[in-house]
Structures are given as C-alpha cells and as structure tokens.
Amino acid sequence: MSDDYLNEKWRSTTILSVRKNGKVVVVGDGQVSAGNTVMKAKTRKVRRVGGGNVLAGFAGATADAFALLERLETKLEQYPTQLARACVELTKDWRTDKYLRNLEAMLIVADADQTFVLTGNGDVVEPDEGIVAIGSGGNYAYAAALAMTEYEEDAETLARKAMGIADRICVFTNNNLTVETIE
C-alpha cells in the first residue's frame, strides 16, 4: 500500500438514536472505509455499557472510541444512576487531559431516560426531538428519522428505516446494522 493510501481520512460510520413511546434505540452501520475502499462491512459500533443499562454508539477513530468507552464505564461506576453526570465528567476529562484531548471520536450515549451526544469539544448535548445521529451518514439518517417520526410509532422500526435511507445515499454507510434497545 502506498503512503497516500495509508494517510487517507478513514470514514466509517452512521450512528442513529431514536427515542419514542418509552423505547430508546441506538443503531449503527457496519462499514469501515478508507477513501473509496470498503475495508470492512460488519463492524460493531454500538455497545451496551454500564452493566447493560446504557447504550453507546461511536463514530471516529476506533481505538480512540474504545478509550472513551472505557472511561465512560469508569464514570458510570462512579455515578451509576446519573448518566448526565457521568457524561459531563467524561467530557471534562476529555477536554482537559493531555492524552484524551487528542482523541478523535464522537459518542451517542443513552439510557432509559436520557440521550446525549458527547464530543471532544466538551459538548454534552441532549437532543430536543429524541432523535440524534453522528458520523458521515448521520445527517441523512437524522433527516429521514425526523421526516418519518409522525408516521412510524415503533422506535426500532423508525431507526431501521432511517438507516436504510442513509445506506442508499451515503457511500460510507451500509445496511449491516447493529441494533441495541432499551424499553
């Protein structure tokens, strides 16, 4: 492989969270791409953390995302029933720690009551609509979910349909989905 190939920006992800009718779903596609090459089609970018009570999906550099998920687990152990506090504490560390500050990833984190997007800029954003997405196909999945929300009552069905639309539009997204749900 040429150095140019190895230095190309890795693009890989669409992560979507839908909260509706007492159910929260986090779904992620499975594609990892380098430039215009699909490197892997069945990657698992959505996980259960916090003893299975919290769903987390990641976009960005995989090793960085795993480092953040480990830190999130630690924060959830410190604040087991306070997802918002665990998220704020994680992002504070992410912004101020010399090592963590360089991590390139984003997270969607959800439990039975709340959903947040976490970034290295210190953002802990709770979406107004109960729908949020990140990654290269995130805007497509987000728009599709918003458009269908009044017509589809089931959160998982809505999320799967929206991801199907993102898959059709974004070349960095596929339909090999990992779906995690909390009711």
Query: What's the whole-model pTM score?
Result: 0.91
pLDDT in tens, 91-120: 988 888 766 666 778 899 999 999 999 988
* Arithmetic mean of pLDDT, 13-26: 96
> How sure is the predictor about 8, in pLDDT bands with cuts at 50, 70 and 90?
very low
Q: Dmax of the chain from CA atoms?
A: 50
> How sure is the predictor about 3, in pLDDT bands with cuts at 50, 70 and 90?
very low
Tell me which DSSP letter residue 79 carries: S
Is 13 an active-site residue?
yes
pLDDT in tens, 137-177: 999 999 999 999 999 999 999 999 999 999 999 998 999 99
Ranges of each domain in the chain: 3-182
Residue ranges for the binding site for Na(+)? 170, 173
Long-range contacts (CB closer than 8 Å, 24 or more residues apart) made by 70-79: 71/100, 72/107, 72/109, 73/49, 76/49, 76/50, 76/51
Spatial CB neighbours of 11, under 8 Å, sequence gap ≥ 6: 33, 34, 136, 172
Q: Is the pLDDT of residue 30 over 70?
A: yes
Query: Active site residue: 13, 14, 91, 115, which one?
Result: 13
d(CA 56, CA 70): 11
Which listed CATH number (3.40.980.10, 3.60.20.10, 3.40.50.300, 1.20.120.160) goes with 3-182? 3.60.20.10
